[in-house]
Structure 1
Amino acid sequence: MSAVKIGASRQVAIPKKIHEELHLRAGDYLEIELRNGTLVLTPKALVDKHIEERLSEALDDVKKGRVQGPFRSAKEVVQSLRRSSKRPRRS
């Protein structure tokens, strides 16, 4: 067990051994909670719910065959998008 000191800005340094064992890096997020008078830190990955929903929709489209391509160039992508667009093309 390691003892750590709370800094002036309420910061706490995680001991190197624990830091390495958990593969933590600067900028990683930790969830902090109080359980029966004990602080518990748990590594967390923040995920944008909107992105998760969009990825789920995209995977559903792929499964149902609602995809286009493959494309050999960006020009082919633009042409395909214009063909499938419901809006008229701007001049």
Structure 2
Amino acid sequence: MVTLDPDDMKPVINRLRRAQGQIGGVIRLLEEGRDCTDVVTQLSAVNRALDKAGFAIVSSGLRECLMGPDGVDEDARAAMEKLFLTLA
């Protein structure tokens, strides 16, 4: 099991809170019958925010997972992160 560093997660939590607000905005736009372009633009912004949060979590998890007695093997971490991003 990989434990995420709480300090690494502070910006992720902030990003997710912003995304939460954006989702509320999307709901309001729909309830108000706003233009489709406005709704889709907001949904796109939410999607990007969630993707970035997910990537940050995975990156932090990979750092923790790959931490060895000599510290982080940066080459292995970079390779694993690149591999994950190609699958995303």
TM-score, length of structure 2 as denominator length: 0.25
Instruction: Return the index of the structure with the highest Cα Rg.
Output: 1
Relative contact order, higher structure (CA 8 A, sep 6+): 2
TM-score, length of structure 1 as denominator length: 0.24
